[in-house]
Amino acid sequence: MSLETFIANRLVWNNAAGLSASKGTRVVVGIAIGAIALSMSVMIIALGIITGFREEIRNKISGFGAHIQVTAFNFENPLYSAPISSRQAFPAQLMEINGVKNVQAYALKEGIIKAEDELQGVLTKGVGPDFDWEFFERNLQEGKRLETTGEERSNGIIVSRTLCSLLNKQLGDAVFIYYVQEGKSRPRKFEITGIYETGMAMMDNNYVLADIRHVQKLNNWDDTLVSGFEVLLTDYTALDKLAYHIYSAIPPALNTTTIKEQHPEIFGWLELQDMNIVVILLL
């Protein structure tokens, strides 16, 4: 009999009498079992919090910019990528790939939003009928999503609650956004038809959604040109594999950028959370 077994038997059983442990011994054993159960519960809760936090951040970042973007090649600034044609065959082909949830065209234009004495730089993202509204509808606090299927351009925009507070605006109010066109600053009047809130300050402070046809006009594009296509996936864990597959399926003149490449600092930090999980498991 090993020393460990001998000590355990002496603690738990009265070998000489063949009786169960004394009341004091049972209390000690109960405390030990309770401590182990408590520590396991704390570890499980900690793992759940870290995993949930990481997933929530990923979902919010991908909600603003999708998992993969398809654009013209630009190694300097994606905001100034050359426009590409929206009339291409590859979006329908990408939808046939298992794991692809949606492919949607978008257009971008930087501007300055103005109300009374307040100014704020914003990025206007133009969206069309193919836009997946699931993320924004989940985070919409007031109003409704944009109607982009009509013959006329919608004058509505969706802004964050942070911007509304900064500009002292409410649902239904008019706002002016100033854009640079042909070297001149030109105002455009919009109506706030939706207010969202995600809790991601770096996004809420900058993004507004508008009808893609407005952004095309602001960029002096016809209705066949867009900034690129966004590809939404059903599962983030398949990102790397599907990114390679998608890159192989698009024309050679186009490039793909994953959400991890767009926000390396955020996803680098999230990877550090994986190390926390390893440390917790080791402990």
H or E element at residue 3:
helix 3-12
How far apart CA 142 and CA 43 sit, in angstroms, is 38
Contact between 280 and 47 under an 8 Å Cβ cutoff? The reply is yes
pTM for the model stands at: 0.79
Burial of residue 93, with CB atoms counted within 10 A of its CB: 0-12 exposed, 13-18 middle, 19 or more buried: middle
Q: What is the pLDDT of residue 282?
A: 67
For residue range 77-102, what is the model confidence (pLDDT) as tens digits?
A: 655 678 999 999 999 999 999 999 99
| 15 — pLDDT class (breaks 50, 70, 90) | very low
At residue 183 the predicted structure's pLDDT band, cuts being 50, 70 and 90, is confident
- Across the chain, mean pLDDT equals 84
Query: In a 3-state reduction of DSSP, which class is residue 278?
Result: helix
- What is the DSSP code string of 72-127? E--SS-GGGPPPEES--SHHHHHHTSTTEEEEEEEEEEEEEEEETTEEEEEEEEEE
Least confident of 170-179, 240-249, 270-279: 270-279
Rounded mean pLDDT, 238-247: 93
Give residue 22's pLDDT band: very low, low, confident or very high (50, 70, 90). Answer: low
11 HSE (CA, 13 A, CB side): 13
